[in-house]
Structure 1
Amino acid sequence: MSSLVLPSLLGSSYVNSKYSSSSGCGTSGPASCQSTGTSTNTCCYETPGGLILQTQFWDTDVAGSPADSWTIHGLWSDNCDGSYVENCDPSRDYTNITGLLESQGASSTLDYMQQYWLNYNGNDEELWEHEWATHGTCYSTLDVDCLSSNSPVGAEAVAFFETVVNLFQTLPTYDWLADAGITPSSSETYTLSSLLSALEAASGGYTPALGCSGSTLNSISWYFNLKGSVIDGDFIAIDTPKNSSCPSSGIKYPPKEG
């Protein structure tokens, strides 16, 4: 299967802030997980976490969660063999993500996060801080040494949140399912094959991993390799290397409660 390339995210409606608009890397090099060279520039080649997951929630009991959209969980950097590390640089466990985004010209990204990146307990800031500290600090292309010398503190985190939002916007899971006649229902159930077939067709042939709690659908992971930097690189869609955790049939896709 040929690779689906999601072009440089700078062309999206939520453009990068004035501090993180360019990595200077380009996208002509190898995709992550496709090079074993020892002299690779890790500012422009994501390693070792080059297997990237854009994860989404179907959060039925979160106040304010949009009824017609999945929401953001995060952007995770697994190692190419499926293992992973977390919390890679506690010295960059930034707090007040809201203030960080506002101060660096990323208010439009913040506005979107406040609608589509929601915490189950209502404390969205807590989730954003967790996702950056746990996963964002592990990206080699977002190391502070990869930024221009005049970058303010936290510019790499701002770039991370902008990229997560931009990538999420290219993956309208709800719409893709609805286009195939699969919508939330209190009575209808679905098969795993029908869900995956709809998503594969809409995404250009790529298989995500669906997650269930028992028989209830609650998460999805879309997988990518990356050419260039997280800041402005090309995300190359790939099939999930892991099986979905949902049963083969009787899958519930419940409406959101409000």
Structure 2
Amino acid sequence: MKLKSAAFLSLLVLQCLAVLTVAQNDFDFFYLVQQWPASYCDTKRSCCYPTTGKPAEDFSIHGLWPNRNDGSWPSNCDEGSSFHESEVSDLVKRMQQEWPSLACPSSDGVRFWSHEWEKHGTCSLLNQHQYFQTALDLKDKSNLLQVLKDAGIRPGKFYSLEKIKEAIQEGVGYTPFIECNVDQGGNRQLYQVYLCVDSSASDFIECPTFPHGRCGSEIEFPSFSSLHDEA
């Protein structure tokens, strides 16, 4: 009788763990988050360029984040799944260019990519190669800098928040969420752009919900090319 009770208890524990795992991996859509490097660097925190050199003046990937319609999100869904550069060896050059780390101290990006994979990628239902390639391809598809330039919005000036949002909505086809930060002079500046992607990570969609946060009505789109090279 004791053996049957122990077996039943073990089965019940396994079932509960399975339910928790499914719940942890459950999500409704992704945020593709891209950041503007000049805004990352032009703060009191400053930045450090990657060991591969100063990135190009273009938006770069912060991450591809599974999210739920209620605003919550899963994270660290598989603690046993570590990032392995060998899994994305054919993507590393693109990742260095389009997904660089600007955090200090200077690095080759591996620590940044590891964090994104372990916190968000393990919840994406994609394998490592699929996760990183999907994010890279979605970034290229959105082509944010060209979209803004086509609307007459170029780095180095102030623009209305609505004009930036409208330009991205028209160019990409979907409404973005704009996140701002503050430069060393106290000006609010375009920092990150959130676009929503369906749960299969195949295409953009209208966002079911937006993150919290506000920008001013006029925000700076700072120039990265004019920043000194001592970051």
Q: Does the pair score TM above 0.5?
A: yes
Contact 1:54 1:223 in 2 (8 A): yes
Question: Is 1:178 aligned with 2:149?
Answer: yes
Pick 1 or 2: higher relative contact order, CA cutoff 8 A, min separation 6.
1
Question: Is 1:169 aligned with 2:159?
Answer: no
1:41-78: CA deviation from partner (whole Å, max 9, x where unpaired) = x8xxxx621221100010123532211x1001110001
Higher helix share: 2
Q: CA RMSD in A?
A: 2.0
Question: Is 1:208 aligned with 2:148?
Answer: no
Question: Is 1:113 aligned with 2:98?
Answer: no
Q: Which residue of 2 aligns with 1:221?
A: 194
Q: Which residue of 1 aligns with 2:116?
A: 131
Matched residue of 1:242: which SS?
coil
- Within a 5 Å distance, the mapping from 1:12-23 to structure 2 comes to none
Distance, in Å, in 2 between the alignment partners of 1:240 and 1:181 is 29
Distance, in Å, in 1 between the alignment partners of 2:70 and 2:30 is 12
1:145-197: CA deviation from partner (whole Å, max 9, x where unpaired) = xxxxxxxxxxx111211111111110111111111111111xx3111111111
Unaligned runs of 5+ residues in structure 2 are 1-21, 42-47, 183-187
Query: 1:254/1:112 Cα in 2 relative to 1: closer, same or farther (>3 Å)?
Result: same
Distance, in Å, in 2 between the alignment partners of 1:245 and 1:71 is 21
- Residue 244 of structure 1 and its aligned partner are, at CA, apart by 7.0
Query: 1:244/1:194 Cα in 2 relative to 1: closer, same or farther (>3 Å)?
Result: farther
Query: 1:244/1:197 Cα in 2 relative to 1: closer, same or farther (>3 Å)?
Result: farther
Which of 27, 31, 37 is matched with 1:49 structurally?
27
- Within a 5 Å distance, the mapping from 1:1-258 to structure 2 comes to 48-60=26-38, 61=41, 63=49, 64-67=54-57, 69-94=58-83, 96-97=84-85, 99-102=86-89, 107=90, 109-120=91-102, 121=104, 122-123=106-107, 124-139=109-124, 141-142=125-126, 156-185=127-156, 188-204=157-173, 206-214=174-182, 215-226=188-199, 229-230=200-201, 234-239=202-207, 241-242=209-210, 245-256=213-224, 257=227, 258=229
Distance, in Å, in 2 between the alignment partners of 1:88 and 1:130 is 13
- Residue 100 of structure 1 and its aligned partner are, at CA, apart by 2.6
User: TM-score scaled by structure 2?
Assistant: 0.73
> In terms of Rg, which structure is larger?
2
Distance, in Å, in 2 between the alignment partners of 1:52 and 1:177 is 23
Query: 1:131/1:101 Cα in 2 relative to 1: closer, same or farther (>3 Å)?
Result: same
Distance, in Å, in 2 between the alignment partners of 1:208 and 1:184 is 19
